[in-house]
Amino acid sequence: MDGVLNDEKVKIMSSKKFILFLFPVLFSWQTATTQNPILFADVPDLSMVRVGKTFYMSSTTMHMSPGVPIMKSRDLINWKIYSYAYDTLADVDAMNLNNGKSTYGRGSWASCIRFYKGRFYVSTFSSTTNKTYIYSTRNMEKGPWKRITFSPAYHDHSLFFDEDGKVYLIYGNGKISLVQLKDDLSGLLEGGINQVVIENASLPAGTNIGLGAEGSQLIKKDGKYYLFNITWPRGGMRTVVIHRADKITGPWEGRIGLQDLGVAQGGLIDMPDGRWFSYLFRDYGSVGRIPYLVPVKWEDGWPLLGVNGKVPEQLDLPASKGLIPGIVASDEFTRRKNERALPLVWQWNHNPDNSLWSVTARKGYLRLTTGRIDTSYVKSKNTLTQRTFGPVCSGMISLDASGMKEGDFAGLSAFQRKFGQVGVKVVNGKKYLFMISAESNTPVELQCIPLSQNQVYLKIDCDFKNKMDKASFFYSPDGENWTAIGGTLKMEYTLMEHFMGYRFGLFNYATQSAGGYADFDFFRISDKITQHE
């Protein structure tokens, strides 16, 4: 991260100067080849590190399991999920959806990813458990992961390994504090640094602040420390605030780093060719919080973000190949020997009950079996999810309902607090297609249709263009001819309840007796939606 020029960089710079000298009319030869946002999907609270020519990124998925996804890229644009920091954050009722408890909007929050002396470190914290977690491994893709945990939960912290071998967490909201960790990271160092370093980190953005400065990300360059935070002036927009200091304990001086489109919270990353970017995210309606990159110039020891202070629509980086299959992917549920039971694109809503799902009970199918009676979809176990994404996307399943019991409900959902479902329900021994909408906060049956066959195809189309945020629901007897059912769901991103972009959810839960099962033949995802009459 020190930005020291090597021979390769000097050669690149020299060749650029030579080209410009010969062909001055080609001054703008660096042509933008990709667009912001770099990922049109819910990848919030991103943290990045570069190791050689490879970039690694962690993000927040809160109540989902496994948690803290780790993504990998060679160009900052095309990413693939390669790992998770943990399978289960904690074995408690709230994470297990037991005894009426849940941890929506909590779980694990903003993570930090670092690489130090041949080892990767991913730290996070949880208000569910009031603990701080540090996971580490030498092999990001294969593990194993070592876990360290201690109390309390240090809010939106940044893990920092200094050049002298000392390790710190810098954290807080509004007031930013610094604590020094033991060498083995198992907790605070007795007698080590433990102090407030910035009394009011929001101050560069004014005094009328709604969201106090948080989301700390700390780096060191050319002997100076640089701290990134997000704050939100009342009546304004989410804002990047940058502080710098010659010593980690301060004094710190701050300024506004970026105030455009509400793009904020993140840090800095350098490329092998010497260029710098700031990675940030933007709230974009019901699809969630989506990542942006802005170019960075250095002037008088400060990083200058954006193009004339604005977030560019285009970037001089390789073209995006799309989110399929790196971030989301179709799944036929066929598995070869020694292959993962579930690809990494999948996450469960809360901790799953692993005895109640299988991809081997019936070859080529995902089977979801009910294990208890539930009266609420959001409190039911074993909903399997993937991200939705923009500007439009579609999710489709094939469902075999022959194993379902009286009162069972299985199908496909657009999942958030204000969810929508299309699926099969068994009522008085007969099967029906239902479309349920929770747009009004209370689930309402919008349409019910008798079903005369066990296999049915279900589909949800999501339109996020210009924050339209509409989901449409369909069924088909053959997977070819589709009919709309129910009505359009006006999707809405809810903060403290779910705090997550909409997801496609595969579900099966019982309302009368346990033991029934639903078989899903496939899940297919697309970046196109069909225009239906």
SS (H, E, C) 79-145: CEEEEEEECCCCCCHHHHCCCCCCCCCCCECCCEEEEECCEEEEEEEECCCCEEEEEEECCCCCCCC
Q: Which of 287, 294, 235 is nearest to 266 (CA)?
A: 294
347-526: CATH class: mainly beta
Q: Domain spans of the chain?
A: 154-309, 347-526
CA dist 71 and 43 (Å) reads 10
Dist. CA 108–CA 87, nearest whole Å: 12
Structure tokens at 160: 């920092």
CA dist 175 to 215, 263, 264, 272, 465, Å?
12, 22, 18, 35, 38
Secondary structure class of 239 (helix, strand, coil): strand
φ, ψ of residue 343 in degrees (nearest 5)? -60, 160
| Residue 495: per-residue pLDDT | 81
What pTM was estimated for this model as a whole? Answer: 0.92
How confident is the model at residue 194, as a pLDDT?
98
Q: Measured at the alpha carbon of residue 482, what is the angle toward residues 508 and 509, in degrees to the nearest 5? A: 5
Q: What is the largest distance, in Å, between two alpha-carbon atoms of the chain?
A: 82
Cβ-in-10-Å burial (0-12, 13-18, 19+) of 164 comes to: exposed
Cα–Cα distance between 144 and 149 in angstroms, integer? 16
Model pLDDT, residue 225 = 98
* pLDDT number for residue 530: 83
Q: Are 335 and 365 in contact (CB under 8 A)?
A: no
- Residues of the chain predicted below pLDDT 50: 1-31, 532-533
- DSSP state letter for 391: S
**pLDDT score recorded for residue 497:** 80
SS3 17: helix
Q: What is the CATH number of domain 154-309?
A: 2.115.10.20
Residue 518, classed as helix, strand or coil, is strand
- Give me the pLDDT at residue 26, please: 32
**Residue in 230, 200, 119, 215 with CA at minimum distance from that of residue 167:** 119
In DSSP terms, which residues pair with 258 in a beta bridge?
240
Q: How far is Cα 200 from Cα 183, in angstroms, rounded to an integer?
A: 29
Same fold flag, 154-309 and 347-526: no
Residue whose structure tokens are 């943290």: 47
Burial 173-209 (b: 16+ CB within 10 A, else e): bbebbbbbbeeebeebbeeebeeebbebbbbbbeeeb
Helix (H) or strand (E) holding 77, with range, is: none
Cβ atoms of residues 179 and 197 within 8 Å = no
Q: What is the CA radius of gyration of the chain?
A: 24
Q: Hey, which residues does 503 pair with through a beta bridge?
A: 387, 415
Q: With residue 10 as reference, give the H or E element that holds it.
A: helix 7-22
Neighbours of 150 (CB within 10 A): 16
d(CA 151, CA 131): 4
How buried is 374 (Cβ within 10 angstroms: 0-12 exposed, 13-18 middle, 19+ buried)? middle
